[in-house]
């Protein structure tokens, strides 16, 4: 894949996590496109503009506020306005949506919910470019958070290449007890309790839940006495592809919230890239046709442990089918979610604010 080198300077603004996969992938792509990416992590988000001036961060070509950094937006906006440069906002999620509909921290019509919605709308509506990870999230940002349609772009999350590559298995590997693997942060969006309830119905497989989070304790209690259900702590990020490769079937998410229906989680991209069949909840966030084709993905209704158990039971009865579906998974990743597709989406997005010339959007 050849791209035209673009000399530009982007200031990555906020108290962000370097190791979060969304940030890693986009930063690597920007570097490959020829941009310089400089970091500015304010000690105190509201006074970021003052600190940026005192630290002489210079004047970039654009400011990028990355995933989850709504609290850094206002100071970044003031800095961008001061220097007449565009601000790119990649929130990944809505804080209002997460607090009200996922965590159920506030009632939808409560004062706190309405205040949070108003506050977040004031951020989203003032970005020069808002990036969403799926078309459904883009629609949500437009409908609920006041983003103008012409100021929004979609860049899929994807998987970090070449770290997540096809993990081949020999025929002999499929003779052992099949392993069903979930990894995540044990939040309601992922539906780990649905996974545990399904696992109790399929003792002929080993079910492993890797990671930690709010619902892990409940899941462990729920599965007590079921020795085929196991738990593991987090693995180092660079060892995750190998861990995926040891499993036979990977699990996505199973929550029934509206948000869970708008996202394609990291684990699905990564598992497909590693060549493992994935079972996950049905969602219109996926490209058209994947739910009706041999894609390496099995879709089940949200929050339905019986459907999940049936899907897994059907898969593990046919070891040769698992291997074939692994090949389909890789093909699906390459066709819809590869770095080439994310790079093209990034170029198209930056072209909307004239940060990448329209004439150079095509990749060869």
- Residue pLDDT, tens place only, 127-147: 999 999 999 999 999 999 999
- 240 neighbors 183 (Cβ within 8 angstroms): yes
Mean pLDDT over each residue of the chain, to the nearest integer: 93
The answer to whether position 298 is within a domain reads yes
291-294 long-range contacts, CB within 8 A, separation 24+: 294/325, 294/328
33 lies in the same domain as 143: yes
Query: Which CA distances in Å does 304 have to 85, 255, 286, 309, 311?
Result: 48, 9, 19, 9, 11
Residue 358 is predicted with a pLDDT of 59
Q: Which of 25-34, 78-87, 102-111, 168-177 has the lowest mean pLDDT?
A: 168-177
Tens-digit pLDDT profile for residues 9-18: 999 999 999 9
Q: Are residues 135 and 200 in the same domain?
A: no
Rounded to an integer, the average pLDDT of 336-356 is 95
Q: How far apart are CA 254 and CA 189, in angstroms?
A: 7
Is the pLDDT reported for residue 360 higher than 60?
no
Residue 92 lies in a domain: yes
Phi, psi of 81 (to 5 degrees): -65, -40
Q: Give the bridge partners for 208, in sequence order.
A: 181, 230
Residue pointed to by tokens 């196991």: 230
Instruction: Read off the pLDDT of each residue in 248-270 and give the average, rounded to a whole number.
Output: 96
**In this structure, what DSSP letter does residue 99 have?**
I
SS3 65: strand
Q: Residues 6 or more apart from 95 whose CB is under 8 A from it?
A: 70, 116, 120
Q: Indicate whether 221 belongs to any domain.
A: yes
Q: What count of Cα atoms within 13 Å lies in the side-chain half-sphere of residue 167?
A: 22
pTM, 2 dp: 0.93
**If pLDDT is split at 50, 70 and 90, which confidence band does 362 have?**
very low
Q: Does a structural domain hold residue 3?
A: no
- For residue 141, the model assigns a pLDDT of 97
Q: What is the pLDDT of residue 232?
A: 97
Tell me, yes or no, whether 51 lies in a domain: yes
Nearest CA to 138 among 349, 355, 343? Answer: 349
| Span 321-336, average pLDDT | 94
Number of domains in the chain: 2
343 and 288 co-located in one domain: no
Distance from the Cα of residue 74 to its chain's centroid: 24
Average the pLDDT over 16-22 and give the result.
93
> Which residues neighbour 200 within 8 Å (Cβ) at sequence distance 6 or greater?
223, 226, 229
Asked if residue 185 and residue 131 are part of one domain, the reply reads no
Looking at residues 5-26, what average pLDDT do you find? 90
**E runs forming strands in 252-295:** 278-281
Place of tokens 């470019």: 129
Residue 364, pLDDT above cutoff 80: no
pLDDT reported for residue 174: 64
The answer to whether the CB of 35 falls within 8 A of the CB of 11 is no
Which H or E run includes 230? strand 229-232
Host domain of residue 312? 171-336
Predicted local distance difference test score (pLDDT) of residue 293: 74
Residues 109 and 146 in one domain: yes
Q: How far apart are the first and last CA of the chain?
A: 6
Within-domain flag for 251: yes
Whole-number pLDDT of residue 1: 47
How confident is the model over 60-88, as a mean pLDDT?
97
Handedness of CA 343, 290, 317, 255 (dihedral sign): positive
Q: Are 143 and 137 in contact (CB under 8 A)?
A: no
- pLDDT grade for 171, boundaries at 50, 70 and 90: low
| pLDDT of res. 100 | 95
Same-domain status, 264 and 155: no
Do 73 and 95 lie in a common domain?
yes
Helix ranges (H only) for 179-318 are: 192-199, 216-222, 240-246, 266-273, 305-316
Closest of 266, 316, 287 to residue 160, by C-alpha:
266
Cβ-Cβ contacts under 8 Å for 10 (sequence gap 6 or more) = 30, 35, 36, 37, 38, 60, 61, 62, 63, 64, 88
| Residues 136 and 253 reside in one and the same domain | no
Are 141 and 52 members of one domain? yes
Q: What is the pLDDT of residues 272-321, one digit of tens each?
A: 999 999 999 999 999 988 877 789 999 999 999 999 999 999 999 988 88
CATH classification of the domain holding 263: 3.40.50.2000
3-7, 37-41, 96-100: range with lowest mean pLDDT: 3-7
347 shares its domain with 330: no
Asked if residue 166 is part of any domain, the answer here is no
Residues 186, 329, single domain; the answer is yes
Alpha helices in 274-338 (DSSP H): 305-316, 319-332
Cα–Cα distance, 362 to 143 (Å, whole number): 30
Query: Phi/psi of residue 315, each to 5°?
Result: -65, -45
Judge if 331 and 347 occupy the same domain: no
How high is the pLDDT of residue 291?
77
Helices (H) and strands (E) in the chain, counts: 13, 12
> 230 has which bridge partners?
208
Tell me, yes or no, whether 1 lies in a domain. Answer: no
- pLDDT, residue 289, reads 82
């Amino acid at each position: 894949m050849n791209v035209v080198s673009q000399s530009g300077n982007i200031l990555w603004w906020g108290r962000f996590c370097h190791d979060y996969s969304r940030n890693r992938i986009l930063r690597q792509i920007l570097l490959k496109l020829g941009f310089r990416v400089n970091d500015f992590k304010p000690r105190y988000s509201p006074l970021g503009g003052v600190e940026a001036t005192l630290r002489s961060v210079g004047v970039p070509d654009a400011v990028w506020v990355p995933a989850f950094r709504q609290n850094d937006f206002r100071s970044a906006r003031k800095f961008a306005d001061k220097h007449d440069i565009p601000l790119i906002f990649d929130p990944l999620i809505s804080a209002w949506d997460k607090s009200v509909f996922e965590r159920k921290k506030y009632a939808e019509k409560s004062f706190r919910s309405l205040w949070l919605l108003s506050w977040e709308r004031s951020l989203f509506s003032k970005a020069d470019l808002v990036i969403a990870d799926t078309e459904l999230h883009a629609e949500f940002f437009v409908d609920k958070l006041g983003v103008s349609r012409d100021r929004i772009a979609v860049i899929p999350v994807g998987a970090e290449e070449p770290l997540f590559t096809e993990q081949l298995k020999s025929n002999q590997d499929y003779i052992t007890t099949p392993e069903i693997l979930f990894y995540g942060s044990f939040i309601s969006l992922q539906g780990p309790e649905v996974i545990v309830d399904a696992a109790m119905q399929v003792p002929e497989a080993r079910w492993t839940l890797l990671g930690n989070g709010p619902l892990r304790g409940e899941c462990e209690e729920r599965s007590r006495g079921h020795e085929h259900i196991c738990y593991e702590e987090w693995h180092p990020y660079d060892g995750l592809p190998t861990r995926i490769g040891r499993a036979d079937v990977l699990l996505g998410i199973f929550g029934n919230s509206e948000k869970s229906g708008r996202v394609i989680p990291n684990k699905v991209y990564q598992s497909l890239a590693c060549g493992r069949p994935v079972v996950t909840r049905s969602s219109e966030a996926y490209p058209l046709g994947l739910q009706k084709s041999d894609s390496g993905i099995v879709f089940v209704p949200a929050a339905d442990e019986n459907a999940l158990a049936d899907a897994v039971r059907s898969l593990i009865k046919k070891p040769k089918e698992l291997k074939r579906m692994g090949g389909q998974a890789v093909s699906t990743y390459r066709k819809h979610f590869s770095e080439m597709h994310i790079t093209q989406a990034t170029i198209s997005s930056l072209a909307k604010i004239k940060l990448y010339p329209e004439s150079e959007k095509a990749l060869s």
